[in-house]
Structures are given as C-alpha cells and as structure tokens.
C-alpha cells in the first residue's frame, strides 16, 4: 500500500514528480503538502487512520530551471503520444523510425524520427514513406517548450484520477 504511485504537483498545479505513497504521507504529515485526490484506501496506525493520497500539491512554490528537451526514445514516444505515426495504433510496443533512412543521408533529428509499430516499421523497411506507399499521420517536429515532465505509459492507463491535473497535449 505504501508503494502506490502519487502524483506531486507544484503550488501552481504544475506536475513535478511521481513519488511513492510513503513519501507523500510524510509530506502530508509535516504540513508540506495537501491532498487533492484520495487514492485507494487507508493506512492504519495505532492512533491514526490516514487516507492514501493519489495526488498531492506542495504548499510552497518549487522553482526549477526548464531543461532543453533531448532527442531520446522516451521524448519521441511522448511527442507522438505512444501512437504509430503510420497506422495510428496506440500500443506500448513501438519502435523508432527514420522517415528518410539513415543510409539515404537521413539525419537523427526531431524532424526525421517518428514512432512506428513493429509491423509498419517492417513494411517500410529501408525506404521513404513515399517509396513504401505509406503516409505519415503528423509531420514530425520538435516538441513545443512546455512542461518537460512526462508520465510513464503504464501510469497513463492506470491512474485515471491524474488526468485532470495533467496538461492536455494537442
């Protein structure tokens, strides 16, 4: 029960982190955070019964620098919303695909890398989408500078109460 994930929000409701329920309970107990969403059940001690939080908000503002986004697998998956950019399937097992293949002088840049399911990546093989008769759903571009915090895929599916606190990506 104390290992359940808890979404931590800044004072302005911006997502900061994901911590464990044990850490969240400590923050609540010392008055450093407030509970916004009750999680799944309660934890009992000899003198107290505490609800296990699912979302907490830090009482004071945490100032942190905005890091520049790096071109990583996880950032590309988040930019493309875990969706194959050729067939539109939203699945967990995705690969990275270079729109213009590397051997045809395609660069490893935000504008040339997309997510693809395994079957679409095999079908496209070492060709461009035009050569393979495939069409991209979205033109790849660098992500917009916004909140660089991202939620791992398995939490997006299981923690439904978090959705109203996460920024909507278009």
> Tell me: the pLDDT tens digits for 17-54?
899 999 999 999 999 999 998 877 888 888 888 889 99
Average the pLDDT over each of 1-10, 122-131, 157-166 and give the range with the smallest value. Answer: 157-166
Q: Are residues 78 and 120 in the same domain?
A: yes
pLDDT over 50 (residue 170):
no
Cβ(36)–Cβ(9) below 8 Å = yes
Q: Identify the pLDDT of residue 7.
A: 92
Within a domain: residue 144? Answer: no
Q: Is residue 100 part of a domain?
A: yes
Q: Which residue has the higher pLDDT, 130 or 69?
A: 130
Using the predicted structure, report yes or no on whether residue 93 has a pLDDT greater than 60.
yes
- Tell me which DSSP letter residue 48 carries: -
Query: The pTM is what?
Result: 0.58
The verdict on 125 and 92 lying in the same domain is: yes
Q: Which residues of 66-98 are buried (b: 16+ CB within 10 A; e: fewer)?
A: eeebeeeeebbbbbbebbbbbeeeeeeebebbb
Which residue range forms the structural domain that includes residue 127? 73-132
* Whether pLDDT at 127 is above 90: yes
Same-domain status, 44 and 95? no
88 and 39 belong to one structural domain? no
- Residue 39 and residue 59 share a domain: yes
Residue 94 belongs to domain with CATH number: 1.10.30.50
Is the pLDDT at 102 greater than 60? The verdict is yes
CA distance 78 to 71: 11
| SS3 at position 111 | coil
Task: Choose the weakest-confidence range: 62-66, 94-98, 156-160.
Answer: 156-160
Looking at the domain assignment, is residue 157 inside a domain? no
Query: How many structural domains comprise the chain?
Result: 2
């Amino acid at each position: 029960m104390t290992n359940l994930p808890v979404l931590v929000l800044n004072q302005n409701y911006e997502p900061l982190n994901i911590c464990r329920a044990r850490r969240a309970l400590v923050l609540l107990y010392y008055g450093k955070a407030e509970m916004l969403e009750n999680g799944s059940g309660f934890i009992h001690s000899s003198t107290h019964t505490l609800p296990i939080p699912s979302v907490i908000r830090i009482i004071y503002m945490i100032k942190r620098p905005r890091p520049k986004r790096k071109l990583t697998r996880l950032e590309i998956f988040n930019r493309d919303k875990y969706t194959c950019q050729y067939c539109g399937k939203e699945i967990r097992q995705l690969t990275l695909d270079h729109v213009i293949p590397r051997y045809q002088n395609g660069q490893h840049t935000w504008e040339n890398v997309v997510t693809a399911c395994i079957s679409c990546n095999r079908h496209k093989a070492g060709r461009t989408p035009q050569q393979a008769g495939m069409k991209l759903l979205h033109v790849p571009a660098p992500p917009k500078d916004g909140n660089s915090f991202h939620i791992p895929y398995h939490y997006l599916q299981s923690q439904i109460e978090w959705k109203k606190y996460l920024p909507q990506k278009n």
